[in-house]
Chains A and B, each alone.
Chain A
Amino acid sequence: MAVQKLNAIGLKCPQPILKVAAMLPQLSPGDTLEIEADCGSFPNDIKAWCTKTGKTLLMCTTDAEGKHSAQIQI
């Protein structure tokens, strides 16, 4: 049950999601991936991606500066 991190700050849609997909082969079921991104569409996109791919979106928050932090379980 490893926890891995992905820094997608500065990347524009759909690159953060592409990075998440590219990391999947390195992750095992039950692992958690923590992602940081500042692309405006990221909260909706990660939610849609999790729904479609059957992953669990544990949380997704946005701070005052517009930085999004999401946790997904593989």
Chain B
Amino acid sequence: MAKMAITVNGTEPKNVYPPFILGSSAAASGDEVIIFFCPGGAPAMVKGALEKLNEQAKALPDLEELYKGLISLGGRLLVCELAFDVHDFTEKDLIEGTEVVGATTFVAEAQGAQLTFSF
């Protein structure tokens, strides 16, 4: 099975739906999936953010369902620790299943990924 590594650097639907759609598809097929939220994308991992995105993009699949599916299949959601310096939220505000890491950790974890995307 393959490894997929994705970086997210925005909070609009165009930034957040693709990693969850591609990531959950890959996880469902047995791939290892790591999604890294840069400070620009980290607000999408704050509690309530996925619900708001769902309201903005009603024609797209249910983002919260994709998130739950991805997590249950072993997908990992990494949030860059620099996000807390840039935004006014803390680790406690993040949704369940996220891990706060530094860039070096993500780069080490993404090593060997055959599929990489950036949104």
Contacts and interface: CB of A to CB of B under 8 A. Distances in A.
A15 B67 CA distance: 11
A74 interface: no
Interface residues of A, number: 16
B66 A18 contact: yes
A39 B66 CA distance: 15
Which size bracket describes the interface of B in this complex?
10 to 19
B113 interface: no
Nearest to A17: B28
Contacts, number: 46
A45 to B, nearest CB: 8
B112 interface: no
Given A15-B69, A22-B69, A22-B73, A49 B28 contact: yes
B29 A52 contact: yes
A30 interface: no
B30 A13 contact: no
B61 A52 contact: no
A61 to B, nearest CB: 22
Interface in A1-50: 11-15, 17-22, 45, 48-49
Interface of A: 11-15, 17-22, 45, 48-49, 52-53
